[in-house]
Amino acid sequence: MDAVLSNEILLQAVNEFGSPLYVYDDQRIRDQYGKLVSAFHRSDVRFFYACKALTNVNILKIMHELGSGIDCVSINEVKLAIRAGVEPDKIIFTPNGVGLAEYLEATALNVHINIDNLDLLQQFGRHFGSAYPVIIRLNPHIMAGGNIKIATGHVDSKFGISIDQIDQIIAIAKQTGVKVKGLHLHTGSEIKEVDVFIKGLELILELTHHFPDLTVVDLGGGFKVPYKSEEKGTDMQLLGEKMAETFAVFKQKTGRMFQVWFEPGKFLVSECGYFLVKANILKQAPSRTFVGVDSGFNHLIRPMFYDAYHKITNISNPSGGLCTYNIVGNICETDTFAWDRELNVVRANDILLFNNAGAYGFEMSSRFNSRCRPAEVLVKNGRLKLIRRRETFDDVIAGQVID
């Protein structure tokens, strides 16, 4: 059974640190990492946690302790990883649409560089020649992922260099001397089908003969985790087996082998996260009962932004009768966490729990409506540790220049 936090410890966290509150379970992160290691033990593989899912430095330190590298999409994420003690050799810079200046900041920090457009490859190659080998992000023309906002590998996606433009990559490499040490794909998020990953791998392997300096094949992240109890995530054991088979065939044919890199975000931190809110008001409208909570899409945007489903339970009244509610936030828009959701009877001041809140939860929060962001707490060995204090009005006004 996967580790879960008890209602008692979650209620204790709210008592101590207030609501709304993000709580993360250290053990669950370790368990998820263990699943990766076990699934891919047959291959030469390295993991780089895609930290945009959750960037608290305390979380990055856990990843580092586990032996994971960090995948970063901005220079500030690189700086956070370094602050967590991660060695530059274990950091990949995988941005999209940034200019040469931000790349130069990253190269000054000695991290792995991923380039996802031809123009930038040319600029980078002119600047460094063969001195700074790069990884190239390809667009494999594969449509996959939970929804169009998180599908990144289809032909109309802004990500990667089209596999149809491989000749141009080779031409730029020849002309500037830039060395290609890795080929990369990240097809999207919430990809359940093992075959999408295998197809991506096969596509890359077919291109490897163009690149004599290649040592790395980076298959990105995007593993699906279950959000509803009847859902299944990506079958990692099966993926591990199929990947090892694919590589064995390739090695027999070509004699070449590559190290495989993965960049899992959600898989590592979604299920470790719990978001706790308090029921402020109940409103009986003619056709619906609303529960108005002390939070909104400024704190957890996934339901409004992606139509995401998060399991919600009333942990203050777990044996109460069942009622149907719309759970709504306090932001001045149709700010709804869940429509027609069955919950144990909700009373004012009850604490509601959202599951799967670790990935893209706090990280996508904002101060919209001039509200403060919640605190974050880490549970380790049954102990609660505050890892980000709750914001106050001082944070809201900080940075404003007022005469």
Ligand X SMILES: *Cc1c(COP(=O)(O)O)cnc(C)c1O
Residues with a known catalytic role? 332
Q: Exposed/middle/buried for 402, CB within 10 Å: 0-12, 13-18, 19+? A: exposed
Nearest to 191 by CA among 157, 228, 160, 147: 147
Residue with smaller CB distance to ligand X, 172 or 359 = 359
Q: How far apart are CA 81 and CA 225, in angstroms?
A: 24
Check residue 222 for interaction with ligand X (CB under 6 A): yes
Nearer Cβ to ligand X (184/341): 184
Q: Which residue has the tokens 């050799």?
A: 89
Question: Site for ligand X (CB under 6 A): which residue of 19, 32, 56, 94?
Answer: 94
Residue (207 or 359) nearer to ligand X, CB: 359
Give the span between the Cα atoms of 40 and 45, in whole angstroms: 7
User: Whole-angstrom Cα distance, residue 379 to residue 384?
Assistant: 5
Near ligand X by CB under 6 A: residue from 25, 26, 77, 263: 263
User: Residue 396's CB: how many other CB atoms inside 10 A?
Assistant: 14
Kindly identify the residues of this chain, within the stretch 178-207, that bind ligand X according to CB under 6 A. 186, 189
Shortest reach from residue 33's CB to ligand X, in Å = 13
Pairing of strands 322-328, 134-139: unpaired
Closest approach of ligand X to the CB of residue 249, in Å: 26
> Maximum distance among all alpha carbons in the chain?
72
Q: Which is nearer to ligand X, 266 or 341 (CB)?
A: 266
Q: How far is the CB of 115 from ligand X (least distance, A)?
A: 12
Binding mask 33-52 for ligand X (x = CB under 6 A): -----------------x-x
Nearest-CB residue to ligand X? 265
**Nearest residue (CB) to ligand X, 52 versus 341:** 52
Whole-Å CA distances, 375 to 30, 59, 87, 348, 398 = 22, 14, 28, 22, 18
Residues in contact with ligand X, shown as a per-residue x/- string from 66 to 85 under the rule CB under 6 A: -----x-x------------
Q: Which residues lie near ligand X (CB under 6 A)?
A: 50, 52-53, 71, 73, 94, 186, 189, 220-223, 263-267, 359
